[in-house]
Amino acid sequence: MYISRYRFLAVAICDQQYLVFLPESVFEPRPRCRTSILTIYSELMMAHTTHEIMTSDLSIGTTVPFDLRDPDGNIVHKAGLPVTERLLERLKSMGVTSVTVRGEAPVVDVDSILNSYFDAEHLQAITTKLEEGIEELNRSIESLIQGNAIEPKLMTDCVESFIQQSSKDTSAFLAVVLHRVLKSDADTVRAISERSACLSCLSTSIASSMGLDSASVLRTGLAALLSDISLGNHQDWFDERRYLRPQIIKSEEYRNHPVDSGRMIHALGTFESQLIECVSQTHELADGSGFPLGLKADGTMMESRIVSMSEIYLALSSPLFSSSPFLESDSLAYMIHQMTYGHVDRTVLRAMIKSLSMFPIGSLVKLDDDKVAVVVQPNNANPFQPIVKLYEAGGKVKDLTISNNQIVGPAGDLLSNRRRIEKSKLDTVLWIPSGS
């Protein structure tokens, strides 16, 4: 059973102290007689077989994500195009009463939808600033490994550029950050730099949304950027894909790495003591089950709590942090569940959901009219009703707060590069690697 079987009524984000789980059936529209295109697609993805659809079950306006073939195997309708009245009339005139689809579903290109929605120049500007920050951090870690000093102002400038880009268009900023992928030729230091820079971007975005003052937002971004710099001295801890080896996570030396990073920063003699303290706390958890000191939320700085929660989300959902990330909405639902155990900070998670929505930017979702859409912007007023763009040629943009449509769940079955979180795994710590 998967998380999609339940709808999470996240009243916790509305300053309440509890969470209600309701069966998905409560939210479902009235039963349909027609065959669900998405259900067929899901079966095809798993079985790699063929499926027959009666032409009477083809709804006008529905975009089909696979080629439709006549009984002789000839393609009569191309994937990605909507069903039209003209198509149905043509099939009828041909005497075709059913069409066949094969388990050869194309890969859904979420990035193309995001790129078509946002301003191209702005996306490129964000990417350029992000890569400049990554390069600067990469050079700094290399210098520290060689025993050389670094220029602290360069790190501050990096974070300030992230904050500036985010303030211009947070949704576009997060579209770039949350979908960044590690290049195959990246070395270990580059991988550390990529992850640290993206962690800094998400952390500053959440800190800003929480209304923290500018000094605190900057401190949050710097703590995220620098909390893992000591890992550059332990490149053997990473496997050939540049992910941490699971057995390393449990070692005392690894669990002390935030303190080691803090010492490296202290040795530079320029950064404030508050930042050093913040860096040392970035892996603590709200209930005291984190490391290195096992501090509870009331014993840690808000900035470090933001970084900790941001890293958990990225570890679950980002292709930069995991070779097989979970669906974004599953990741947030899982974090809500973990919040009930006290592991996840309630205040920060509430702000995260408000900033990202329950279906974060880039999420592929199913609508109640059988159409598929990509989330392009959150709605701060309702995390379950973001702004989406339909996944079809000339796809319309819909604000679900005023649309007649609603999201009935994630369309994770259309994605080959993301996993679902099984309900049986909700009580398991999933943000720490358990296998190579």
**Chain centre to alpha carbon of residue 336:** 15
Please write the tens of the pLDDT for every residue from 338-394: 998 899 999 999 999 999 999 999 999 999 988 999 999 999 888 999 999 998 878
Question: Would you list the DSSP string of 7-60?
Answer: EEE-GGGGT-S--EEEEGGGT--S--SSPPHHHHHHHHHHH--EEEEEGGGPPT
Nearest Cα neighbor of 199 from 166, 160, 181, 226 is 226
Per-residue confidence (pLDDT) for residue 65, from 0 to 100: 66
Class of domain 118-325: mainly alpha
C-alpha distances (whole Å) from 321 to each of 125, 178, 324, 342 are 23, 10, 9, 24
Domain residue ranges of the chain, discontinuous segments joined by +? 37-102, 118-325
CB burial of 359-396 (b: ≥16 within 10 Å; e: otherwise) equals bbbbbbbbbbebbbbbbbbbbeeebbbbbbbbbbeebe
Per-residue confidence (pLDDT) for residue 101, from 0 to 100: 74
Number of CB atoms found within 10 A of residue 321's CB: 24
Class of domain 37-102: alpha beta
Long-range CB contacts for residues 336-343, cutoff 8 Å, separation at least 24: 336/8, 336/10, 336/12, 336/19, 337/426, 337/427, 338/426, 339/12, 339/19, 340/19, 341/287, 341/427, 342/286, 342/287, 343/285, 343/286, 343/287, 343/289, 343/429
Tokens of 59: 């709804």
Per-residue confidence (pLDDT) for residue 107, from 0 to 100: 58
Which alpha helices (H) appear in 357-402, and where do they start and end?
none
pLDDT at 273 over 90: yes
Please write the tens of the pLDDT for every residue from 304-340: 999 999 999 999 999 999 888 999 999 999 999 999 8
CB burial of 24-35 (b: ≥16 within 10 Å; e: otherwise) equals eeebeeeeeeeb
The phi and psi torsions of 222 (rounded to 5 degrees) equal -70, -40
**Cα distance between residue 378 and residue 408, in whole Å:** 16
Per-residue confidence (pLDDT) for residue 269, from 0 to 100: 84
- Side-chain-side CA neighbours of residue 361 (13 Å): 27
**Cα distance between residue 307 and residue 366, in whole Å:** 31
Nearest Cα neighbor of 323 from 214, 423, 419, 428 is 419
**Cα distance between residue 285 and residue 174, in whole Å:** 24
Number of CB atoms found within 10 A of residue 55's CB: 16
Nearest Cα neighbor of 302 from 392, 210, 225 is 210
Number of CB atoms found within 10 A of residue 80's CB: 15
DSSP 229: G
Helix (H) or strand (E) holding 343: none
**Cα distance between residue 301 and residue 138, in whole Å:** 27
DSSP 287: B
Confidence bin at 49 (pLDDT 50/70/90): low
Q: What is the mean pLDDT of the chain?
A: 85
Please write the tens of the pLDDT for every residue from 128-152: 999 999 999 999 999 999 988 888 9
Tokens of 258: 């935030």
Q: What is the pTM of this model?
A: 0.80
pLDDT at 25 over 80: no
Confidence bin at 254 (pLDDT 50/70/90): very high
Helix (H) or strand (E) holding 364: strand 364-367
